[in-house]
Chain A
Amino acid sequence: MNLKNIAVFGYGLLFVGLLLAPVLGAYPVFVMKLMCFALFAAAFNLLLGYTGMLSFGHAAFFGGAAYVAGHVIKVWGLTPELGLLLGTLSGAFLGLIVGFFAIRRTGIYSTMITLALAQMLFFVALQAPFTGGEDGLQSVPRGKMFGLIDLRNDMVLYYVVLAIVIAAFLLIVRTVHSPFGQVLKAIKENEPRATSLGYDTNRFKLVAFVLSAALSGLAGALKAMVMGFATLSDVHWTASGHVVLMTLVGGLGTLSGPLVGSAVVVLLENKLGEIGHVLAEMTQIEWFSTLGESVTMVTGLIFVVCVLAFRRGIMGEIIAWLQRRRGDGKL
């Protein structure tokens, strides 16, 4: 089997698994949350993995869109599809602003700018009247999509979310393989060279930024709709750090990496308490049972380990291993 067949097989398996998950007894809301984060990470990876720009402010787009979608659905009484649309647009708009400033500097400065601007948005969200401050925006109703599809049913919502996430993911795949995506990769590899070939690299970077922000916004709006709330933790810088971690764990610059990475990170955080109890029983070390309260510590540790020893991430390692085994460099 060559790599392409393995990939098709893998995606097929994932698709079937997701189709059957709620039927097989997985808790739909949890899987939907996973899918939202997978989309978020995939959108983020479009920027970091394929354009080479590290944004540390993606929480602003994710959380900002979650607030906007929640607000227009709950307070303005708009339909869910309009909520998602406005959420996505607000992500794109914020991305345009942040991206505009971020591309004025390069490298690490650009990262610091995204972080600072996202922190600014955090303070705005903390003080603005419509976000509910520390309490967040609670009990966002789900309503009926297009006036027909009743999203209050978890199962119905599940398949709607699945369809949207798949469509968005296909858009990302298409973008990466398009001529536009090739220019982005060229910018990542060697920006001065791309400039000398006649590409206005800043414009490409900005478009990539806006696209990534818009899709992050879609993920945030979906999450607000699924969970029924938007809170400050969605716009906090730790959420930006989170999405970086998911992408890094899964594999930078691989299409499947963010999907795997987000699943690993979200599962780990949700199950850390249980894992701790099991470890405590196995090793008889009492301390492990408090692991559930130390999510930050474990996250930090994963970061350190990934950067030092595991920079290709899970999917990056698997792809590299498959290529080595076949003895050729082609994908």
Chain B
Amino acid sequence: MEFFGISLPGLLSQLLLGLVNGSFYAILSLGLAVIFGLLNVINFAHGALFMMGAVITWMAMNYFGINYWVMLVVAPLIVGVFGVVIERLLLRWIYKLDHLYGLLLTLGLTLLVEGVFRSVYGVSGLGYDTPDLLSGGTNLGFMFLPNYRAWVVVASITVCMLTWFVIEKTKLGAYLRAGTENPRLVEAFGVNVPVMITLTYAFGAALAAFAGVLSAPVYQVSPLMGQNLIIVVFAVVVIGGMGSIMGSILTGLGLGVVEGFTKVFYPEASSTVVFVIMVVVLLIRPAGLFGKEN
């Protein structure tokens, strides 16, 4: 079967690859949005936290023989604790300042963390094997489905949906949303807002690390793997607007798919297509697809 001169299986496999990238965009932009909502900080270090998730997973396998499934839980916990340290030690001093200082502080943090990992592992990629349970693929008749990629998409969407559910539908989420609107009033009602802020940052960091663990078998694990991703995620955030959780998820996935299609039809533009879309969105709807300008 052919589709605009490209075989259907080829098209579908690129679509899947796009969905895999889109899953990472979704998780990362979701974390950025949650952190920005409560902390008013654009977390440039999100890419570095993502990278930490992947590298820690690789380290655990290589030095201690700890497998993927354990790390899927442990790596986000470690990075989450790192997030607590960052928030307590550094970020809390700058909440009252202009946004730009938050960006610059987390940028410095990114360079610091990447520099540390670089001085140990260099810049070349480290290979990580797909866990046995998910290696190989399934033949669906019309396409060959690599199990691991399917798992990444399913796991990411599940985590995104859980996050959405917690934030939009539970009492904890209601506190969080109230804290985003008016932290002082929430504090007056007896909610410990500083702790909430710390945990929110830790949660965002853990989400990024979770995506990092998922990415270890698909991408090359390297100290620089986060920095190019984070810029695309910034564009995703501008396109989607940070106002809505579901908006971040949908925009992330959608842009991943668009990128996948571009790889099929016009490969030269695949690295720039997200930025082009950003330009178009800015022209038509400056506040972003799901955003509201204030």
- A residues sitting closer than 8 Å to B (CB atoms) are 48, 54, 56, 101, 104-105, 107-109, 111-113, 115-117, 119-120, 123-124, 126-127, 237, 241, 244, 248, 290, 293-304, 306-308, 311
In the bound complex, what is the Cα–Cα distance between A86 and B260 (angstroms)?
Answer: 37
Question: For residue A119, which residue of chain B has the nearest CB?
Answer: B231
In the bound complex, what is the Cα–Cα distance between A303 and B109 (angstroms)?
Answer: 8
In the bound complex, what is the Cα–Cα distance between A300 and B104 (angstroms)?
Answer: 10
Taking CB atoms, residues of chain A closer than 8 Å to B105 are 303-304, 307-308
Residue contacts A-B, CB under 8 angstroms, 28 given:
A54-B100, A56-B103, A104-B282, A105-B238, A105-B286, A108-B36, A111-B42, A112-B237, A113-B282, A115-B234, A116-B232, A116-B238, A117-B279, A119-B232, A119-B275, A120-B272, A237-B227, A296-B114, A296-B115, A297-B116, A299-B115, A300-B113, A301-B108, A306-B104, A307-B94, A307-B101, A307-B108, A308-B105
In the bound complex, what is the Cα–Cα distance between A46 and B112 (angstroms)?
Answer: 28
In the bound complex, what is the Cα–Cα distance between A244 and B109 (angstroms)?
Answer: 15
In the bound complex, what is the Cα–Cα distance between A290 and B103 (angstroms)?
Answer: 29
Chain A nearest CB, measured from B107 CB (Å): 6
Please give 6 more A-B residue pairs, beta carbons under 8 A apart, in addition to A297-B119, A308-B90.
A108-B99, A109-B238, A111-B42, A300-B109, A300-B110, A303-B108
Interface positions, chain B 233-290, Cβ under 8 Å from A, are 234-235, 237-238, 268, 271-272, 274-276, 278-279, 282-283, 286-287
Taking CB atoms, residues of chain B closer than 8 Å to A108 are 36, 42, 99-100, 103
Chain A nearest CB, measured from B66 CB (Å): 27
Taking CB atoms, residues of chain A closer than 8 Å to B237 are 112
Please determine whether B231 and A308 come into contact, CB atoms closer than 8 angstroms. Answer: no
In the bound complex, what is the Cα–Cα distance between A124 and B270 (angstroms)?
Answer: 11
Chain B nearest CB, measured from A11 CB (Å): 28
Please determine whether A127 and B108 come into contact, CB atoms closer than 8 angstroms. Answer: no
Question: For residue A293, which residue of chain B has the nearest CB?
Answer: B119
Taking CB atoms, residues of chain A closer than 8 Å to B108 are 299-304, 306-307
Interface size of B by CB at 8 A reads 44
Given A112-B237, A307-B94 in contact, is the A296-B272 Cβ separation under 8 Å? no
**B189 contacts chain A at the CB level, 8 A cutoff:** no
Chain B nearest CB, measured from A130 CB (Å): 15
Please determine whether B112 and A297 come into contact, CB atoms closer than 8 angstroms. Answer: yes
**B93 contacts chain A at the CB level, 8 A cutoff:** yes
Taking CB atoms, residues of chain A closer than 8 Å to B218 are none
Please determine whether B119 and A304 come into contact, CB atoms closer than 8 angstroms. Answer: no
**B177 contacts chain A at the CB level, 8 A cutoff:** no
In the bound complex, what is the Cα–Cα distance between A302 and B104 (angstroms)?
Answer: 11
The winner among B100, B109, B235, B276 for most chain A CB atoms within 10 A is B100
In the bound complex, what is the Cα–Cα distance between A120 and B279 (angstroms)?
Answer: 11
Please determine whether A116 and B275 come into contact, CB atoms closer than 8 angstroms. Answer: yes
In the bound complex, what is the Cα–Cα distance between A107 and B100 (angstroms)?
Answer: 8
**B167 contacts chain A at the CB level, 8 A cutoff:** no
Please determine whether A307 and B279 come into contact, CB atoms closer than 8 angstroms. Answer: no
Taking CB atoms, residues of chain A closer than 8 Å to B103 are 54, 56, 108, 111
Taking CB atoms, residues of chain B closer than 8 Å to A244 are 104, 107
Please determine whether A300 and B234 come into contact, CB atoms closer than 8 angstroms. Answer: no
**B118 contacts chain A at the CB level, 8 A cutoff:** yes
Chain B nearest CB, measured from A161 CB (Å): 30
Please determine whether A127 and B268 come into contact, CB atoms closer than 8 angstroms. Answer: yes
Given A116-B278, A308-B90 in contact, is the A241-B107 Cβ separation under 8 Å? yes
**B60 contacts chain A at the CB level, 8 A cutoff:** no
Chain B nearest CB, measured from A48 CB (Å): 8
Question: For residue A104, which residue of chain B has the nearest CB?
Answer: B286
Interface positions, chain B 189-237, Cβ under 8 Å from A, are 227, 231-232, 234-235, 237
Taking CB atoms, residues of chain A closer than 8 Å to B93 are 308
Please determine whether B111 and A299 come into contact, CB atoms closer than 8 angstroms. Answer: yes
Please determine whether B111 and A296 come into contact, CB atoms closer than 8 angstroms. Answer: yes
Please determine whether A101 and B279 come into contact, CB atoms closer than 8 angstroms. Answer: yes
Please determine whether B119 and A294 come into contact, CB atoms closer than 8 angstroms. Answer: yes
Taking CB atoms, residues of chain B closer than 8 Å to A112 are 42, 234-235, 237-238
In the bound complex, what is the Cα–Cα distance between A124 and B269 (angstroms)?
Answer: 9
B101-135: CB near A (< 8 Å → 1, else 0) gives: 10111011111111110110000000000000000
In the bound complex, what is the Cα–Cα distance between A55 and B109 (angstroms)?
Answer: 19
In the bound complex, what is the Cα–Cα distance between A126 and B268 (angstroms)?
Answer: 11
Please determine whether A120 and B282 come into contact, CB atoms closer than 8 angstroms. Answer: no
Please determine whether A290 and B119 come into contact, CB atoms closer than 8 angstroms. Answer: yes
Partner of B111, one of A241, A290, A308: A241
Chain B nearest CB, measured from A115 CB (Å): 6
In the bound complex, what is the Cα–Cα distance between A147 and B112 (angstroms)?
Answer: 48
Question: For residue B294, which residue of chain A has the nearest CB?
Answer: A106
Minimum-distance CB pairs A-B, first 8: A303-B108, A297-B115, A300-B111, A300-B112, A296-B115, A120-B275, A116-B235, A304-B108
In the bound complex, what is the Cα–Cα distance between A324 and B93 (angstroms)?
Answer: 25
Taking CB atoms, residues of chain B closer than 8 Å to A296 are 111-112, 114-115, 118
Please determine whether B279 and A303 come into contact, CB atoms closer than 8 angstroms. Answer: no
Question: For residue A48, which residue of chain B has the nearest CB?
Answer: B100
Chain A nearest CB, measured from B121 CB (Å): 13
Please determine whether B275 and A117 come into contact, CB atoms closer than 8 angstroms. Answer: yes
Partner of B282, one of A105, A111, A115: A105
Taking CB atoms, residues of chain B closer than 8 Å to A302 are 108
Please determine whether A113 and B119 come into contact, CB atoms closer than 8 angstroms. Answer: no
Taking CB atoms, residues of chain B closer than 8 Å to A113 are 238, 278, 282
Taking CB atoms, residues of chain B closer than 8 Å to A115 are 231, 234
B143-180: CB near A (< 8 Å → 1, else 0) gives: 00000000000000000000000000000000000000
